[in-house]
Amino acid sequence: MEKFAVHFQGAKRDPYKQSKLVPGLIHHFGFKIQTRSKLLKTLNKVLHAEPYSKVQKARIRALFEVMTVLSDSTIWQDTWPANTKGKGMAIAPIYAAHCLSDCKRTTAFSSGLHDAIEEAMQRFPDQRPIRILYAGTGPFATLALPSMAKFSPEDIQFDFIDIHETSTQNLSELLEKLDFEDFAQNIITKDVFDHQDADGYHIAITETMGPALANEPQIPIMRHIRKMLVENGILLPEEIQLGLLIGNDNYQVLTPMIWKYTALEDKAETFAPLEIRYQYQPKEPCNEEVSVFAATQVKVFADNLVTFGHTSITDPIGMGTLPNIPPNSSIEVAYRAGQDLVYGTEQPICRLISK
């Protein structure tokens, strides 16, 4: 039977022998990813699948188990974030690894990248390989795995960057074990804000995003990597929307998404701090506690969306709570992000205005 081990010369590098967990573990959740060809099939099926279906959840769990088995144990021990030039924090390898398990996010981003590669192949018919910058890979380069299963190294080449050496070290070993190493033009341990590239990328992707754009440097990174694209290149995600929501017991939506970041339209050099204000007067006085939240929705590429709620990047975060809204009163809410649009340094506003 073909196993991952067929790609290894010596027993020392056989992942089945490196881990005490295998081979039983890879029978998880109805999946038997014992062979590389089975892994490639599973990676292909991840693309464009219904993210909440049982079978997709099982695939994602099985992939997480396989990547765990093939990874170095240090990724679970590195728990400290890194500071990214004062533009937010880079989450630690352990948390970056766990991002794979976020089914809806992983499905939308990896499918979006796949579709963007197909689009780039049409936009640049005479240029191969399509050069891709993947900023913030974590230890698995999760978002690129299905595309590496689908395309050839002659068609696509990645520059993989992460600020955490534990992640890049693991990634380079993992790519070898998966027989994907030929897809990596470079694996770079660096703060991406220090990275420059003279030749130009056809695609640049990053998912460095906390809920409601809190703490992590998504937008500053997008603004930086956008400059390294060739003309007509593709920046992912295409669009991030932010909105305020009011919650009673059943999360009623207060506003549609009211602020939109479309990276390719962004030409400014620095961001001013952002303040979004919204005033809400309920039709009826509200006698119960009211909570206000901020949340994002993300359009990765074309119809690959991470819609509001239930993911690590689009879960709402609390802006404040009021005991009720009396007659003739309204509430005023403001989401405030500091310089570079990283939310978390400025206090939000949530107050009652009585007439």
Ligand X SMILES: C[S@@+](CC[C@H](N)C(=O)[O-])C[C@H]1O[C@@H](n2cnc3c(N)ncnc32)[C@H](O)[C@@H]1O
Residue 39, number of CB atoms within 10 A of its CB: 22
Told to check if 91 binds ligand X by CB under 6 A, we report yes
Number of residues that bind ligand X (CB under 6 A): 24
Residue 48, helix vs strand vs coil: coil
By CB under 6 A, tell whether 263 contacts ligand X.
Answer: no
Helix ranges restricted to H, the chain: 15-18, 36-46, 54-69, 74-77, 93-98, 103-123, 145-150, 165-177, 218-226
Q: Which residues pair with 325 in a beta bridge?
A: 286
DSSP string, 192-254: GGG---SS-EEEEEE----GGGBSS-HHHHHHHHHTTEEEEEEEES-EEEEEEEEESTT----
Instruction: Give the nearest distance from C-beta 235 to ligand X in angstroms.
Output: 15
* Identity of the residue, 137 or 169, whose beta carbon is nearer to ligand X in the bound complex: 137
Q: Is 143 in the site for ligand X (CB under 6 A)?
A: yes
Span of 39-47, 117-125, 189-197, 316-324 interacting with ligand X by CB under 6 A: 189-197
Which of 89-97, 244-252, 290-298, 327-335 is the region at the interface with ligand X (rule: CB under 6 A)?
89-97
- Give Rg (Cα) of the chain: 22
Whose Cβ is closer to ligand X: residue 86's or residue 327's? 86
CB 43 to ligand X: min, Å: 14
The identity of residue 285, as a single letter, is: P
Decide whether 250 or 270 has the Cβ nearer to ligand X.
Answer: 270
User: DSSP character for 9?
Assistant: S
Name the one residue in this structure whose structure tokens are 């919204």.
Answer: 278
- The correct pick among 124, 193, 251, 278 for binding ligand X (CB under 6 A) is 193
The nearer residue to ligand X, 164 or 202, going by C-beta atoms, is 164
Among 68, 71, 167, 169, binds ligand X (CB under 6 A): 167
* C-alpha pair distances (Å), 132 with each of 97, 139, 140, 160, 267: 21, 18, 16, 8, 21
The three-state secondary structure class of 137 is: coil
Q: Give min distance, CB of 33 to ligand X, in A.
A: 18
Query: What's the closest the beta carbon of residue 79 comes to ligand X, in angstroms?
Result: 12
Question: Could you tell me which of 159, 158, 157 has the C-alpha nearest to residue 129?
Answer: 157
Closer CB to ligand X, residue 136 or residue 211?
136
- Report if residue 78 touches ligand X, rule: CB under 6 A: no
Contact between 112 and ligand X (CB under 6 A)?
Answer: no
Binding mask 276-315 for ligand X (x = CB under 6 A): ----------------------------------------
Tokens for 173, please give them: 């070993």
Contacts of 69 (CB under 8 A, 6+ apart): 15, 19, 21, 22, 25, 26
Q: Least separation, in Å, of the C-beta of 99 and ligand X?
A: 3
Give me the least distance between CB of 73 and ligand X, in Å please: 17
Does residue 163 belong to the site contacting ligand X (CB under 6 A)? yes
Q: How far is the CB of 90 from ligand X (least distance, A)?
A: 3
**Binding of ligand X by 162 (CB under 6 A):** yes
Interface residues toward ligand X, by CB under 6 A: 84, 90-91, 96, 99-100, 135-138, 142-143, 161-164, 167, 191-193, 207-208, 217, 221
